[in-house]
């Protein structure tokens, strides 16, 4: 099988990982593009003795960690826009790989060049860091009552407050205007046939808030067309996955707002 055919099924998920890691669509996609350029230049760097997805993420990890290559491929500006505080530590990479991307600790270790015990320690470190996230108000846009209840219980268990649950586009926009939430969890297909994506697009000009999209068809939102979501959860979801994405969304959102304040000051 050609290398392009081998890696193609994994690229949408690598892009999801890259965006969660960087907190930005453009930066995440730029790193994935750098991976593809490296493979075109030298296909032999792709390991033949590993699961293809593990091999692909391993190449991404090496490129992510290579400052020299970041500069060479024009990624210096994207990196300089992040403060040192906002750069993703190794523990966060491990947490995303295991909790969001579904790799085993052993696979995550192989991707990052860590032992399994180092992976376990990194997950513990990430858990402690995530626990320090500030609580916020959450708006849930979900037309399935059981899923909405599960999401509410989950975010409340993390210390956040659910300010409303919307089943339609109109309800979502009204609740957002009333409560000004600090985080939005949005399904794509709503009860009245309307779109959660369109509801969010209507909110965002008047509300600066991180949004996590939830869908059974992630490939439809990772097609390469813009705009695309940075934070994405696939149905059926695991509790650990939603917790990880909530923490990532709030982490990057808080630092983006802090950067804006510093720039204005």
Task: Check residue 216 and report its DSSP letter.
Answer: S
Q: Of the candidates 168, 218, 161, which has an alpha carbon nearest to the alpha carbon of residue 189?
A: 168
Report the share of the chain in percent with pLDDT over 90.
37
The domains spanning 3-130 and 134-264 adopt the same CATH topology: no
Around 200, how many Cα atoms within 13 Å sit in the side-chain half-sphere? 25
Q: Of the candidates 104, 149, 96, which has an alpha carbon nearest to the alpha carbon of residue 127?
A: 96
Contact, 234 vs 27, CB < 8 A? no
Asked whether the bond before 146 is cis by omega within 30 degrees of 0, the reply is no
Give dist(CA 218, CA 14) in Å, integer: 12
Architecture of domain 134-264: 3-Layer(aba) Sandwich (3.40)
Burial (0-12, 13-18, 19+ Cβ within 10 Å), 35: buried
The 10s digit of each residue's pLDDT in 55-66 is 999 999 999 887
The 10s digit of each residue's pLDDT in 64-115 is 887 444 444 444 433 333 322 333 467 778 888 987 788 988 999 999 999 9
Can you give the pTM of this predicted structure? 0.60
Q: How far apart are the first and last CA of the chain?
A: 55
Taking the domains of the chain in order of start, what are their residue ranges?
A: 3-130, 134-264
Contact, 123 vs 148, CB < 8 A? no
Q: Of the candidates 255, 180, 258, 241, which has an alpha carbon nearest to the alpha carbon of residue 23?
A: 255
CATH class of the structural domain 3-130:
mainly alpha
Measured torsion, CA atoms of residues 199, 221, 215, 179, in degrees rounded to the nearest 10: -30
Query: DSSP string covering 169-180, please?
Result: HHHHHHHHHHH-
Burial (0-12, 13-18, 19+ Cβ within 10 Å), 142: buried
Give the tokens for residue 190: 């709503």
Output phi, psi for 140, to 5 deg. Answer: -105, 125
Average pLDDT, rounded, for the chain = 79
Measured torsion, CA atoms of residues 229, 262, 205, 241, in degrees rounded to the nearest 10: 30
Give dist(CA 249, CA 254) in Å, integer: 8
DSSP three-state, residue 235: coil
pLDDT over 60 at 1, yes or no: yes
What is the pLDDT confidence band of residue 32, given thresholds at 50, 70 and 90? very high
């Amino acid at each position: 099988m050609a290398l392009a055919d081998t890696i193609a099924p994994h690229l949408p998920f690598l892009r999801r990982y890259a965006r969660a890691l960087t907190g930005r669509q453009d930066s995440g996609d730029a790193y994935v593009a750098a991976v593809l350029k490296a493979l075109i230049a030298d296909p032999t760097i792709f390991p033949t003795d590993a699961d293809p997805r593990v091999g692909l993420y391993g190449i991404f990890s090496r490129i992510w960690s290579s400052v020299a290559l970041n500069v060479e491929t024009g990624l210096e500006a994207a990196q300089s826009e992040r403060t040192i505080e906002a750069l993703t530590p190794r523990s966060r990479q491990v947490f995303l790989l295991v909790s969001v991307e579904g790799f085993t600790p052993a696979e995550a270790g192989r991707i990052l060049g860590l032992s399994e015990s180092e992976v376990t320690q990194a997950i513990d470190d990430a858990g402690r860091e995530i626990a320090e996230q500030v609580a916020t108000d959450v708006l849930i846009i979900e037309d399935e009552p059981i899923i909405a209840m599960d999401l509410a219980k989950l975010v409340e268990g993390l210390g956040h407050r659910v300010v409303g649950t919307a089943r339609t586009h109109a309800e979502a926009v009204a609740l957002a205007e009333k409560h000004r939430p600090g985080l939005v969890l949005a399904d794509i297909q709503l009860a009245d046939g309307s779109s959660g994506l369109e509801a969010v697009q209507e909110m965002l000009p008047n509300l600066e808030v991180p949004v996590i999209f939830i869908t059974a068809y992630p490939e439809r939102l990772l097609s390469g067309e813009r705009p695309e979501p940075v934070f994405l959860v696939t149905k059926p979801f695991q509790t650990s996955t939603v917790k990880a994405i909530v923490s990532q969304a709030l982490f990057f959102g808080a630092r983006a707002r802090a950067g804006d304040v510093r720039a204005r000051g």
